[in-house]
Structure 1
Amino acid sequence: MELQKRIKNLAQEYAPYFIAVRRHLHKNPELSFQEHKTSSYIRGQLEDIGITDIVSVAKTGLLATIKGTSVERAVLLRADMDALPISEKNVLDYTSKIPKVMHACGHDAHMASLLLCAKILFGIKEEICGTVKLLFQPAEEVMPGGASLVIKENAYRSLGELTHIGQHVQPDLPVGKVGFRSGKFMASMDELFLKVIGKGGHAAMPENTIDPVLMAAHIIVAAQQLVSRVSSPKTPSVLSFGKVIANGAINIIPDEVLIEGTFRTLDEEWRKTALEKLEKMVTAIAEGMGGKCEVKINHGYPSLINDRKLTEELRQNAVGYLGAENVVDLDVWMAAEDFAYYTQRQPACFYLLGVGNREKGIHSGLHTPTFNIDESALEIGGGLMAWLAVKALKS
């Protein structure tokens, strides 16, 4: 308990500085695989802490090392770095100064929290029974995902098997609380692009056309059978079409309609089957109505599966650090995360850090132009991650 108290005291002492770090990052966001200034800034922060074992990974990412008293065990702590193509609507001293780019998913907080964690761990490295790897990973927000590149790097592959821990802010959780879920937690994500091709013409003479708008309507409705009738009710699935372009007019039936959407599930076998069935279904519908449908599927992140034994251990250690009343059990989340690539290969746990505070008006969702966090969460997030890393190396 003496070490836990020491970590909490250090987190409290260092938090104001890393709140300023978070604000700097928030003010200077960079898009996926463009995090050059962010990477340089993070490297400088690590060197200021005293960490010099730093290598570049996945173009703009960094993998740093803190060595404790043993080299037999290792744990990897990950933060993502990229921002989103969103115009910020918050009016703050640290509002994004980059037009149409914003840290609307909390990656600025993830980086600041991991840097705070790094400073704590470097200060107590004589108490660490192993090696801590700090991964600042680029491009979580775009496919193929920075994690898919990291796992191919020699610097990463040479690490072998080791525990992976990831933390993500969640405005739906009040500040002061964290959430865990063992087993299947987050969904896979695939991008769907359909081109429905017919024959356009005058809207007043539909008999002379092969109407792709009508075909598209049938396809959109019928495709929902995949999740309502073909899929088992015990397997969470989401099929959503968010973009439909029929570039005709009130009196013009167009030649083609473009449909874009996403398919998500928590079961990798069903994922494969569902995408095959989807392609057969939409092409058959179009052909049956006299047209055709071209299908392109961009295969994205796999489902995220938290190691049950590790997650339960980390959950109990979080209870010891924060108190049982501040550790909650999470439901499945149909969002996608490229941290899933690590969970498919390594013993890993991805958990959520509460950053919401309705009394302060901080409750906007992730990926919105008014997203913000209660910055007191950084002290909790940085300290907790340091504690979890220390305990994971001892277990």
Structure 2
Amino acid sequence: MLKERIRQLAKVVRENAIANRRHLHMHPELSYQEYNTAIFIEDKLKALGIPYERMANTGVVALLQGKAAPSDQVIALRADIDALPITELNAVPYRSTNDGVMHACGHDVHTASLLGVAEILAQMQSEFSGTVKFVFQPAEEVIPGGASLMIAAGVLENPRPRYMIGQHVMPELEAGKVGFRSGRYMASNDEINITVKGKGGHGAMPHLGVDPILIASHIVVALQQIVSRRANPSLPSVLSFGKIIANGARNVIPDEVKLEGTFRSMDETWRNKAHEKIKKLAVSLAESMDGSCEIEIERGYPVLVNEEVLTANTRAYAVEYLGEEQVVDLDIWMAAEDFASYSQVADACFYRLGVANEDRGITSGLHTATFDADETSLETGPGLMAFIALKTLGN
């Protein structure tokens, strides 16, 4: 009966969830600037009669305690609320009205879905036991990430949840389907900033200077051995440089070159070792070529680990709610997510929500100017998460 009850309510809240998603999509806000988004969330929670508090400046946390029977079980459900600095190219009625800012990673769907869960469970408060904590988290997209700030502000206390559940849209998966992976799922990510210094001069007389472009080129190539020859092949690693700035000219060798890149891994111990190897190799190589090198590695999000028992149970609940054919197993994903911070301190499960619809041309990837979501997912998302929450609480 629980499954049918939630399915019925998911159909009812779908239109509200779509309306909420479209409002959020039209009014995106960048990381750490989600002031109006937070107010919108608070207004919706207030209308549902769910108490809430502001946390970490633009984060919102709400509590709903079931009244069916006494229970000290607590589960937290998380949605991220920030957008990206991308100019939207979709010709849709709910296109972003904030030039240069877009919900291109589906956080509008996540937020609208979690508000839908709150709407479902508010109507079921007398029917379940345990406490549900709704976490609307800012700044997922920018290091150090809103998750770490929310944890520092006490989001996992008073009451402390035993479990943490999150979902993320997946444009490679058809709407109506969901995906799971147990254990290591998403990579850590660190930002690498290197400044190579030499001695500039005329391009026709390189022997009178020290060419930092040549040194930087050697560094980019040499550092790949950290991944190809020093990393255990069973632990995937990625080292990529996406930005090189050398402000010389066709015949002018500059004094310095700046490199910006990312390092990602699936193991925290190897991550730390790799940082030291990257620094040592870059500095020694620059010095061997008569230049110098300054390197800074800014630590980003940790490895995201889905607790195995919780994930197995959550997957089983998804099969029960949606059917076996709608639930798929996922490969590791070398992208990073600050939900990983929760997974380091609590039993956590982060799963994927399908939003693609090939017939309607909704297939664009995350972080693209044409990303969109099939809004039928705003029935699947709230319903499934509500079902997972109550089953995990023992209802």
User: For this structure pair, what is the TM-score category when the shorter chain's length is used for normalisation?
Assistant: over 0.9
Residue 238 of structure 1 is matched in structure 2 by 238
Alpha-carbon distance in 2 for matches of 1:297, 1:381: 37
CA-CA distance at 1:50 after TM superposition: 1.8
Q: TM-score, normalized by length of structure 1? A: 0.98
| 1:154 shift after superposition | 3.4
The one-letter amino acid of 1:89's match is: L
Alpha-carbon shift at residue 131 of structure 1 (Å): 0.2
Cα offset, 1:49, TM superposition: 1.5
Alpha-carbon separation, structure 2, partners of 1:204 and 1:281: 29
- 2:277 matched residue in structure 1: 277
Partner AA of 1:343 in structure 2: S
Match of residue 63 from structure 2: 65
Q: Deviations over 1:225-268 (max 9, x none)?
A: 01100001001100000000111111001100000000000100
1:125, distance to aligned residue in structure 2 (A): 1.4
- Residue aligning to 1:5: 4
Q: How many residues align structurally? A: 393
User: Paired residue for 2:129?
Assistant: 129
Tell me which amino acid in the other structure corresponds to 2:137: Q
- Aligned residues: percent identity? 55
Name the aligned partner's letter for residue 138 of structure 2: P
Trace 1:174-323 onto structure 2 (pairs within 5 A). Answer: 174-323=174-323
Counterpart Cα distance in 2 of 1:24 and 1:298: 35
CA distance in 2, matches of 1:331, 1:64: 33
Cα deviation for residue 71 of structure 1 reads: 3.8
- Taking the aligned partners of 2:361 and 2:214, their CA distance within structure 1 comes to 45
Trace 1:134-145 onto structure 2 (pairs within 5 A). Answer: 134-145=134-145
* Residue matched to 1:345: 345
C-alpha displacement of 1:159: 2.7
**CA separation in 2, counterparts of 1:67 and 1:33?**
29
Q: Displacement, 1:153?
A: 1.3
What corresponds to 2:22 in structure 1? 23
Partner of 1:170: 170
1:157, distance to aligned residue in structure 2 (A): 2.8
2:36 corresponds to: 37
Q: Which residue of 1 aligns with 2:82?
A: 82
Change (3 A) 1:239 1:155: closer
1:29 maps to amino acid: P
1:157 match: secondary structure: coil
Name the aligned partner's letter for residue 40 of structure 1. Answer: I
Query: What SS does the corresponding residue of 1:43 show, helix, strand or coil?
Result: helix
CA contact (8 A) 2:65 2:125 kept: yes
Secondary structure class of the residue paired with 2:365: coil
SS in 2 for 1:9: helix
Q: Pairwise CA RMSD of aligned residues?
A: 0.9
Letter in 1 for 2:28: P
Alpha-carbon distance between aligned partners in 1 of 2:154 and 2:96, rounded to the nearest angstrom: 35
Residue 14 (structure 1) shift: 1.3
Q: By how many angstroms is 1:156 displaced?
A: 3.3
> When the two structures are superposed, what TM-score results if normalisation uses the length of structure 2?
0.98
Distance in 1 of aligned mates of 2:138 and 2:112: 15
Q: Which residue of structure 2 lines up, in the alignment, with residue 48 of structure 1?
A: 47
1:102 corresponding residue in structure 2:
102
User: Gaps spanning 5+ residues in structure 2: where?
Assistant: none
Q: Deviations over 1:291-318 (max 9, x none)?
A: 0010011111000000000000000000
Which stretches in structure 1 are left out of the alignment for 5+ residues? Answer: none
1:155 is displaced (CA, Å) by 5.0
